[in-house]
Structure 1
Amino acid sequence: MRLKKIILFLLIFNMALSSVAQSDFSFSDSKKESVNASFSLVNNMIVISAEVNGKRLSFLLDTGIKTTMLFNLKVVDSVELRNIEVIKLRGLGEGNSINAMKSHGNYFKFNDIINPDMSLYIITDDLFDLSAKMGIDIHGIIGGDLFANFIVKINYASEKLTFYRPDSYNPTECRGCETFPLDFYNRKPFIDATVENHLGKEVKVKLLIDSGGGDSLWLFPYSNPDLLVGENYFEDFLGKGLNGNIMGKRSRIKRFKLGSFEFENAAVSYPDSTSMLTMHANKDRNGTLGAEILKRFQVIMDYPNSKITLKKGKKYFKDPFLYNKSGIEIIYGGEMLVKENRARLVPSDNKETTTITDIFYSYGLTYKPSYKISMIRKESPAHYAGLIEGDILLEVNGKPAYNMKMDEIIYLLSQKENKKIKLLVDRNGEHLRYDFQLRSLL
C-alpha cells in the first residue's frame, strides 16, 4: 500500500474546507478537440509532469481525489504560490489536525491543457512523503478537478492519455468494450461490481474508483455482513495514518466481476475497522477498486456523462495477482554516493598491438538512489533471516540496488514461493549479507 492511500483515506473524506471558486481546465487552443499526453506507470499508478506557475512538478493522477494537493516542501518552497491562507485539516481520529495551506489563482499547464486560476492545498506536515513510498519524486496529487472537464482515455499499455472535449467527442465503435454508469459522491466516482466470497456467495458492492491506489481491491467487511474474510489470510501493514499504522488482513477473493469481465483469486485487503472510523462519509461504500485492476483495461473516464468504458487490455489483463512475500516494506532512503567504474577508449600507441584502441578505467563518485527497509512483518522470511528496520539495500540478487527502480525490487519480492532472495545491506556502516526464500501465505 502506497502513501497516497494515507492522503486519500485519512484526509480527503474529512476536509472541512470552505469552497474556493476557480476556473475550469481547458485546451490552450480552443479549436482543438483532443490532446494527447504521456505518463509514467509507477507501481501501477499514473505519474504526469505538469507546471504550476512555471515550475515543473510530478503529480499522481488520481480519480479517487477531488482536490489538487502539494506536499513535497523542498519543491513547494521554490514554487511561487499565490493567495496563500493557513488552514487546519482534520485527520484520522477525533481532535486531530495537520497544518496545511490553501492557495488559489495559480496557473497550471499540462501539455496543451491549462487552468489560469487553479486552487490547491499544500500539506506542510512532513508525514506525507509520497516520494519515499514511490521511489521517485512526487510533488502532489491531481484528480477529480482535472477529470471533471474532459473525457479521458487511459491506455496503460502504451502509457498514453487522451483528453477529449465533451461537446465534440465522437466515440468510435469499440468491439469488446463495456460501459458502466458512475455514481458520484462528493465529486468522486463509484462503480457497482460483484464479489464472490470464499463460501461461493455473490455480493453486490459499490466501490470508489481509485487510479491512485496501487492495490487491486479494498473491501470493508463491516459494510456488509456477506463480505466475509475467509480463513486464508495474513495480518499486514496497509499504510500509516495520523494516529499510527493502518493494519489489516491481506487475502484473495474467490471471484471479482465487472459486467462480463471476471478475475479469479484477485488480491484483496481488508483494513481494520478501528483504523478507518472516519472514512465512511458515503455509507453505501463497500470498498475501493484500485489500479492493479484498472491497469488491466483500456479505460475511458467520462465524468461529464457519468460513465466509464472498459476494454480488455492486451498487456496486463492476464497477469497474476502478486503480493510481497518477503515481509519487507521498502521506502526511498535518499541519495547515496556510489563509486562508479568509467571506461574510456583511446587510440593505442603500441605499434605491436593488433587493436586500434586501449581501454582505460577511471573511478568517480556519483549520487544514486538508495532504498531502506521501513518495516518488517513479524514471522516473515525477512524477519527470520535477521533483517531489521533501517537496513539499507546495497544489492538484490547480486545486482546493485541503486541501479534498480523500487517497483523492480518489489516485483522480485513478489515472485513464486521458494524463490531465493539474496540481499547485501548496510547497517550502520557495516555490510551484511542475508538470504531467504519467499513464502506464500495465501
Structure 2
Amino acid sequence: MNKRFSFIFLFICLSHFGFCQDKFVIQNKKQSDKIRFKLINNLIVIPVDINGVTLSFLLDTGVSKPIIFNFLNVSDTLQIKDTETIQLRGLGGGESVEALKSANNIFKIGDAIKLNQDLYAVFNNNLNFTPRLGIPIHGIIGLDIFKDFIVEINYSTGYLRLTEPKRFKYKPCKKCERFNLEFYNGKPYVNVMVEIENKTIPVKLLIDSGGSDALWLFENDSLDIKSGKKFFNDFLGHGLNGSVYGKRSKVQNFFLKSFVLENANVAYPNAENVLFAAQIKNRNGSIAGNILKRFNIIFDYKKAVMTLSKNSYFKEQFSYNKSGIELAHDGIRVVRQIKNTLKTKSNSQTSNNSIILDPQYKISLKPAYAIVELRKDSPAEEAGLKIGDVILSINGKQTHQYNLQQITQMFYAHDGKKIKLSIDRAGMVLSYSFLLKNPF
C-alpha cells in the first residue's frame, strides 16, 4: 500500500513539473529564467545541456529542428539513441545533407528542461561554424524554445529570458512597436517595408536570428526588388547545403513601422543558392542579426506577435568589410615568447652585486587565423594576399593577442586606414600592406 502511494505521489510531482508533457518546462517557482548569452558576429550563442553534456548552440529563429554539428567530436559522450537516417535541406547550392535523427534526448537550457527532445546530428565535416566564429559552436536550436515560452532577447545586455506564457505579463511601452507574425514550417515571417531607388516596397521576410547579415532580399524585377547599379559581388555565408554568394548593396530605408533604419546593408543572394527558400509563398528574403541586434525583442509565438524596442545598438552605422578578407580559425601555431627574468650576479673582487636581465623563451600554442575567402578586386587581393595565408601580425601586433572578432572588426575601420600584415605562406613569412577602401 505504501509503495503504491509513493508511486502515485511521485507521478503527481513529475506531472506538476511538466515532465510528462512533450514540451520544455521551467523548474522554478517563478516559471521564468534569465540566461546569459554571447553575441558573436551578431549571433546569439547559448549554453545547452544535452544528455548531461554542456554544449554551445546558436539561437536561431530560422530553424525548426535542433541540429548538432561537429557530431563526431561529441558523439561518444552524448549517448545518442533511437536513431534513423534522414535528409535535410537549407541554404546553399549543394545537395541535401544526410543527418541522424535521434529521439528521447534530455535538453536543458538554464532552468528549462525537456525529457524527450528530437535531435538531428549532421555528419558533413564542412558544416562547422567554429572556425568562422572563433569559439566552439556545436549546433543550432530554434522552434522548440520559441514555441514553448515567451522569449525576451535583450541584445544590449546579453541576456535572454524564458517565461511560461501563462505567467508572462506585458508592460506598458509607449516607444515599442508590435508586429503580427506569420508562420511557415514553424518559422516566423513578418510583413514590413523597404525603400529601394525611391520606391517603397512591401516585403515578407523570414526573421532569422541565425544570420549575421542585416537584410537579405531575393531579386524580383516584377516587384522592383533589385540591386541596381551600385553593388559588389561577395561571399555571403554558409548554409546547410553549401556556400552562398551574391551581391551586396544598400537600401535607402528599411521600415519597421515607426522605426526607420537608413542606408542599411542588404545582400541579394544568387538565385541558385536560395532556390528552395525562395519557393516559400510570397517570401522576399530575411531580416538577420545586424538589424535584430538593434532592438530588444519579445517573441510570443502563442499570440503570433513580436514586440520591438530600440536599444543602444540602434544608431550604430551600417558598414562593410573594406579589406575583402574573410578569416577563420585554422588550427594552432607554435609561438615563441620572451619571458624575462631578473638574476643577481656577485662580483667577488668588489663585493658588489649586480642585477641582470636574463631573457628566456617560452613555447606555447596559439590560435592560427587564415584567409578563407578573398573578395575579387578588393584591397587585400590587389596587394597580393591569397586564400590560405595565415596572418601572424596585424599593424605590428601578434594576432594571437586578439580574438577572431577583434581582428575582423579592424577591417571595418574608416576609409584610408592602413593595414599592415605579416603572413605565413607555406612556411615563408611575407609582409603586405594596403589601405581600406569602400567597396562601392
One-letter identity of the residue aligned with 1:327: G
Match for 1:148: what amino acid? K
Q: Structure 1 347/313 Cα, relative in aligned 2: closer, same or farther at 3 Å?
A: farther
Q: 2-side partners of 1:280 and 1:148: how far apart? A: 24
Letter in 1 for 2:256: L
- Whether 1:410 and 2:401 are equivalent positions in the alignment is no
Hey, what does 1:146 align to over in structure 2?
A: 145
- For 2:214 and 2:192, the matched residues in 1 are separated by 13
TM-score normalised by length of structure 1:
0.88
Q: Which letter does structure 2 place at the counterpart of 1:122?
A: A
Matches within 5 A, 1:50-65: 50-65=48-63
Q: 1:266 — aligned with what?
A: 264
The Cα of 1:415 is off from its aligned counterpart by 1.5
SS at match of 1:388: coil
SS in structure 2 at match of 1:411: helix
Q: Could you say which structure has the larger radius of gyration?
A: 2
1:113-145 Cα deviation digits (max 9, x unpaired)? 111111110000112011121111100001111
Q: CA deviation at 1:401?
A: 1.2
Aligned twin of 2:106:
107
Which residue of 1 is the match for residue 371 of structure 2?
Answer: 373
Deviation at 1:174, TM superposition (A): 2.1
| Percentage of identical aligned residues | 43
Q: Which runs of 5+ in 1 are unaligned?
A: 1-20
The reply to whether residue 430 of structure 1 matches residue 413 of structure 2 is: no
The letter of the residue matching 1:328 is: I
Structure 1 residue 349: deviation in Å?
9.6
More displaced, 326-335 or 39-48? 326-335
Query: CA 1:110–1:90 in 2, change beyond 3 Å: closer, same or farther?
Result: closer
Deviations 1:125-173 (A, max 9, x none): 1120111211111000011111111111111111011111100111222
Alpha carbons 1:33, 1:169 under 8 Å: kept: no
1:68-217 matches, within 5 Å, as 68-72=66-70, 73-90=72-89, 96-198=95-197, 200-217=198-215
Letter in 1 for 2:203: V
**Are residues 347 and 56 of structure 1, via their aligned partners in 2, closer, same or farther at CA, if it must alter by over 3 Å?**
farther
Query: Partner of 1:337 in structure 2?
Result: 334
- Secondary structure of the 2:167 match is coil
Matched position secondary structure for 2:144: helix
Q: 1:292 aligns with which of 275, 290, 293?
A: 290
Preserved contact between residue 93 and residue 242 of structure 2 (Cα < 8 Å): no
Q: Quick one: distance in 2 between partners of 1:420 and 1:114?
A: 50
Cα distance change, pair 338–309 in 1 and its aligned pair in 2 (3 A):
same
- Structure 1 contact 223–286 (Cα < 8 Å) conserved: no
Tell me the CA shift for residue 416 of structure 1: 1.7
Deviates more, 1:326-335 or 1:133-142: 326-335
* CA displacement at 1:23 relative to structure 2: 2.0
Q: Using structure 2 for the length normalisation, give the TM-score.
A: 0.89
Partner of 2:14: none
Per the alignment, in what secondary structure is the counterpart of residue 226 of structure 2? Answer: coil
- In structure 2, the partner of 1:280 is 278
Residue deviations 1:24-58 (CA, integer Å, cap 9, x gap): 111123x2231011000100110011211111110
Equivalent residue number for residue 8 of structure 1: none
Instruction: Give the direction of change, closer, same or farther, for the CA distance of 1:256–1:241 in structure 2 (3 Å limit).
Output: closer
Rate the CA distance shift 1:91–1:189 in 2: closer, same or farther, 3 A.
Answer: closer
Aligned residue number for residue 13 of structure 1: none
How far 1:362 sits from its partner (Å)?
4.1
Partner SS for 1:265: strand
Q: 1:277 Cα shift?
A: 1.6
Give 5+ residue unaligned stretches, structure 2.
1-19
Alignment of 1:307-386 (within 5 A): 307-314=305-312, 316-342=313-339, 362-386=360-384
Q: 1:96 to 1:185 in 2, by over 3 A?
A: same
> Which residue number in structure 2 is paired with residue 251 of structure 1?
249
Counterpart of 1:131, as a letter, is: T
3-state SS, counterpart of residue 221 of structure 1: coil
Q: RMSD over aligned Cα, in angstroms?
A: 2.5
CA distance 1:99–1:181, change in 2 (3 Å): same
Larger deviation, residues 316-325 vs 80-89 = 80-89
Amino acid at match of 2:253: R
**Deviation string for 1:327-378 (max 9, x for gaps)?**
11211101222223446689999997899xx986543222221111112122
Question: Does the Cα contact within 8 Å between 1:157 and 1:313 map onto a contact in 2?
Answer: yes
Change (3 A) 1:94 1:261: closer
8 Å CA contact 2:91, 2:242 repeated in 1? no
How many positions carry a matched residue from both structures? Answer: 417
Report the more deviating stretch, 403-412 or 305-314.
403-412
Contact 1:22 1:118 in 2 (8 A): no
Measure the CA separation in 2 of the matches of 1:136 and 1:430: 28
In structure 2, the CA distance between the partners of 1:36 and 1:414, relative to structure 1 (3 Å rule), is same
Counterparts of 1:95 and 1:45, CA distance in 2: 24
AA partner of residue 331 (structure 1): A
CA gap of 1:364–1:144, structure 2 versus 1, over 3 A, is same
